[in-house]
Structure 1
Amino acid sequence: MTLLRLEQLQLAYGTQVLLNRADLTVEKGERLALVGRNGTGKSTLLKLVAGDIQADDGTIWRAPGLKIGVLAQELPESSGMTIFDMVAQGLPEAGELLSEYQHLINDPDPDMNRMATLQTRLEAIDGWSFHQRIDVVLTRLGLPPEAEMSALSGGWRRRVALARALVSEPDLLLLDEPTNHLDLDTIAWLEEQLLAFNGAVLLITHDRAFLSKLATNILELDRGKLGRYPGVYSEYQERKQHELEVESRENALFDKKLAQEEAWIRQGIKARRTRNEGRVRALEAMRNERSQRRERQGTASLTVDSGERTGKRVVELKGVTQRFGDEVILRNVNLEVMRGDRIGFLGRNGAGKTTLLKILLGELAPTEGSVQLGTNLKVAYFDQLRAGLELEKTVYDNVAQGSDRVSVGGKDRHVMSYLQDFLFTPDRVRQPVKALSGGESNRLLLAKLFTQPANVLVLDEPTNDLDMETLELLEELL
Structure 2
Amino acid sequence: MPLISLQSVDYGVGGPLLLDGVDLAIEPGERIALIGRNGAGKSTLLKLLAGELRPDDGEVRVEGGRRVARLEQEVPQDAAGSVFDVVAAGLGELGALLADYHHLIHADVVDTNALAAVQAKIEAAQGWTLDRRVVETLERLQLDGDADFAALSGGMKRRGLLARALVSQPDLLLLDEPTNHLDIAAIDWLEGFLRQWSGALVFVTHDRRFLRALATRIVEIDRGQVTSWPGDWDNYLRRKEERANAEAQENARFDKLLAQEEVWIRQGIKARRTRDEGRVRRLKAMRVERAERRTQAGNVRMATAQAGESGKKVIEAKNVDFAHGENVLVRDFSTTILRGDRIGLVGPNGSGKTTLLKLLLGGLQPRSGEVRQGTQLQVAYFDQYRATLREDWNAIENVAEGREYVEVGGKSKHVIGYLQDFLFTPERARAPITRLSGGERNRLLLAKLFAQPSNLLVMDEPTNDLDVETLELLEELLADYPGTLLLVSHDRDFLDNVVTSTIVMEGEGRIGEYVGGYSDWLRQQPEIRGPAFRDDKQKLGPGFRRDDEQKPVAKPAASPVPAKTKLSYKDARELEELPARIESLETELARMAAAMNEPAFYQRDAAAIGTDNAALAALQAELDAAYARWAELEG
Does the alignment reach a TM-score above 0.5? yes
Identical counterparts, % of pairs: 53
Larger Rg: 2
Q: How does 1:403-442 map to 2 (within 5 A)?
A: 403-442=403-442
**In structure 2, what is the Cα distance between the partners aligned to 1:142 and 1:386?**
31
- Residues 475, 62 of structure 1: alpha-carbon distance in 2 compared, 3 angstrom cutoff: same
> Match of 1:134?
134
| 2:79–2:86 contact (8 Å) kept in structure 1 | no
> Match of 1:336?
335
Give the Å deviation of 1:125.
3.7
| 1:78–1:150 contact (8 Å) kept in structure 2 | no
> Match of 2:244?
244
> Match of 2:90?
90
TM-score norm. by structure 1 comes to 0.90
Q: Which amino acid aligns with 2:280?
A: V
SS in 2 for 1:193: helix
Give the Å deviation of 1:331.
5.1
TM-score norm. by structure 2 comes to 0.69
| 2:399–2:447 contact (8 Å) kept in structure 1 | yes
| 1:329–1:351 contact (8 Å) kept in structure 2 | no
**In structure 2, what is the Cα distance between the partners aligned to 1:220 and 1:80?**
35
> Match of 1:374?
373
**In structure 1, what is the Cα distance between the partners aligned to 2:133 and 2:139?**
10
> Match of 2:220?
220
| 2:314–2:377 contact (8 Å) kept in structure 1 | no
Identify which range, 278-287 or 115-124, moves more after superposition: 115-124
**In structure 2, what is the Cα distance between the partners aligned to 1:131 and 1:306?**
61
SS in 1 for 2:220: strand
> Match of 2:122?
122
- Residues 283, 462 of structure 1: alpha-carbon distance in 2 compared, 3 angstrom cutoff: same
| 1:4–1:26 contact (8 Å) kept in structure 2 | yes
Q: Which amino acid aligns with 1:154?
A: G
Q: Which amino acid aligns with 1:4?
A: I
CA RMSD, Structure 1 to Structure 2 (Å): 2.7
> Match of 1:26?
26
Give the Å deviation of 1:237.
0.9
**In structure 1, what is the Cα distance between the partners aligned to 2:332 and 2:138?**
31
Give the Å deviation of 1:225.
0.2
**In structure 1, what is the Cα distance between the partners aligned to 2:214 and 2:139?**
24
**In structure 2, what is the Cα distance between the partners aligned to 1:213 and 1:53?**
30
Cα distance per residue 1:242-290 (max 9 Å; x no partner): 1111111111111111112122222344555695221111111000000
List alignment gaps of at least 5 residues for structure 1.
none
**In structure 2, what is the Cα distance between the partners aligned to 1:354 and 1:104?**
41
| 1:39–1:436 contact (8 Å) kept in structure 2 | no
Identify which range, 465-474 or 222-231, moves more after superposition: 465-474
**In structure 1, what is the Cα distance between the partners aligned to 2:41 and 2:7?**
16
> Match of 1:321?
322
Q: Which amino acid aligns with 1:328?
A: N
> Match of 1:193?
193
Q: How does 1:340-379 map to 2 (within 5 A)?
A: 340-363=340-363, 368-369=367-368, 372-375=371-374, 376-379=376-379
> Match of 1:451?
451
Q: Which amino acid aligns with 2:133?
A: R
Are residues 1:267 and 2:271 paired? no
Are residues 1:163 and 2:163 paired? yes
Identify which range, 383-392 or 191-200, moves more after superposition: 383-392
- Residues 169, 443 of structure 1: alpha-carbon distance in 2 compared, 3 angstrom cutoff: same
- How many correspondences in the alignment? 475
Identify which range, 160-169 or 447-456, moves more after superposition: 160-169
> Match of 1:296?
296
Give the Å deviation of 1:34.
0.8
> Match of 2:209?
209
**In structure 2, what is the Cα distance between the partners aligned to 1:457 and 1:432?**
27
Q: Which amino acid aligns with 2:26?
A: V
Q: Which amino acid aligns with 1:221?
A: I
- Residues 371, 448 of structure 1: alpha-carbon distance in 2 compared, 3 angstrom cutoff: farther
SS in 1 for 2:343: coil
- Residues 113, 365 of structure 1: alpha-carbon distance in 2 compared, 3 angstrom cutoff: farther
Q: Which amino acid aligns with 1:330?
A: L
SS in 1 for 2:461: coil
| 2:362–2:371 contact (8 Å) kept in structure 1 | no
> Match of 1:45?
45
| 1:321–1:330 contact (8 Å) kept in structure 2 | yes
Q: Which amino acid aligns with 1:96?
A: A
**In structure 1, what is the Cα distance between the partners aligned to 2:330 and 2:112?**
45
| 1:155–1:350 contact (8 Å) kept in structure 2 | no
**In structure 1, what is the Cα distance between the partners aligned to 2:135 and 2:350?**
21
Cα distance per residue 1:152-177 (max 9 Å; x no partner): 44333332332222232211100111
Q: Which amino acid aligns with 1:334?
A: F
Q: Which amino acid aligns with 1:343?
A: I
Give the Å deviation of 1:38.
1.4
